[in-house]
Amino acid sequence: MVSDSRRIEWDKRHAAGDLEGIGPNPTLVGAVSGLAGGRAIELAAGSGTNAVWLASQSWRVTAVDWSPAGLANGRARAEAAGVEVEWLERDLLAWTPPARAFDLAVIVYLHLPQAERRRVYGGAAAAVVPGGHLVIVGHDRLNATEGEGGPPDAERLFTAAEIGRELTAQDPGLTIERGEVVRRVPPPGRAPIDALLVLIRRE
């Protein structure tokens, strides 16, 4: 389970202001835009920027986070946008989404120690129906030296290839559709460098 100190820290950050800007993550938008709608879940949804965008694209969205302040921000954002989102306050280390329940599962910038990551990412994969997708966006390892932002602990960074190997080894029903580095701007500019992984459940 998440420690109270970590939960309180994130709740304070969300209460102090919007951590996610005004629009959805552009790497996620590029990965999801070609998919048909259906039921979607975002884990570690924060203030709901991505969840609200997904709802605006006709997805039926469940947004999960441990921060009451973040979820309150998300509800306000959804109301302003005129969309409906189901908001769930859950500790992702103690709660697992229902299996085979969603056409799309999304995780954006959730950087955890490896053991916790396996549990949470594996639970997200198990939540996807056959024919559905899991989309993971994180700060690529290159971000530590060539990009900006991201977790201060570089050991929590990863590549799409690493996560793809982990998840397909855990769950043979998954197939990698895309695994790549996404740079927001060309050199010499600096911006977040993302790892993008898109998996489809074949069975």
The span from the CA of 17 to the CA of 11, in Å, is 10
The conformation of residue 147, written as its DSSP 8-state character, comes to: S
pLDDT at 185: 75
pLDDT at 18: 53
pLDDT at 98: 98
Quick count: other Cβ atoms within 10 Å of Cβ 131? 12
Q: Residue 182 is encoded by which pair of tokens? A: 């996404």
Q: In degrees rounded to 5, what are phi and psi of residue 77?
A: -65, -40
Contact by Cβ (8 Å): 189, 135 = no
Q: Which of 82, 75, 11, 10 is nearest to 49 (CA)?
A: 75
Q: Which of 45, 50, 47, 44 is nearest to 19 (CA)?
A: 47
Q: Residue 44 is encoded by which pair of tokens? A: 């570690």
The span from the CA of 22 to the CA of 14, in Å, is 14
pLDDT at 141: 95
Give one DSSP letter per residue of 151-193, joined into a string.
-S-GGG-B-HHHHHHHHHHH-TTEEEEEEEEEESS-TTS---E
The span from the CA of 78 to the CA of 172, in Å, is 36
Amino acid at 194: D
pLDDT at 21: 62
Quick count: other Cβ atoms within 10 Å of Cβ 1? 10
What is the mean pLDDT, run by run of 10 residues, along the chain of 203 residues? 57 56 89 95 97 97 96 96 98 97 98 95 98 98 90 91 97 98 79 95 92
The span from the CA of 175 to the CA of 173, in Å, is 7
pLDDT at 190: 79
- Full set of structural domains in the chain with CATH: 4-201 (3.40.50.150)
Q: Residue 36 is encoded by which pair of tokens? A: 């048909």
* Residue written as token pair 């060309």: 186
